[in-house]
Amino acid sequence: MFIETNSDYLCKGWPLWRLPDRKIKLRITLGEPLASPPDENAAAFTRRLREVYLDALVSDRLTAG
């Protein structure tokens, strides 16, 4: 699941009691389901997960323009 927003509201370091100063836009997209096969260790799964995440960011930048 990828969650994108135009605001820093509720991001790391944002105080819970502070309201945003403008309207917030959210976009939530689902990626392909990922499962770790029994023979894949945690480091390999983490690398694969990182690649999927980075590919999604690159493809989003290419289609957003």
For 3-51, what is each residue's pLDDT tens digit? Answer: 888 888 878 888 889 988 889 888 888 888 888 899 999 999 999 999 9
Q: Domain extents for the chain? A: 2-64
Question: What pLDDT score was predicted for residue 40?
Answer: 95
| pLDDT tops 60 at residue 2 | yes
Buried b (16+ CB within 10 A) or exposed e, 12-34: eeeeeeeeeeeeeeeeeeeeeee
- Which has the higher per-residue pLDDT, 63 or 4? 4
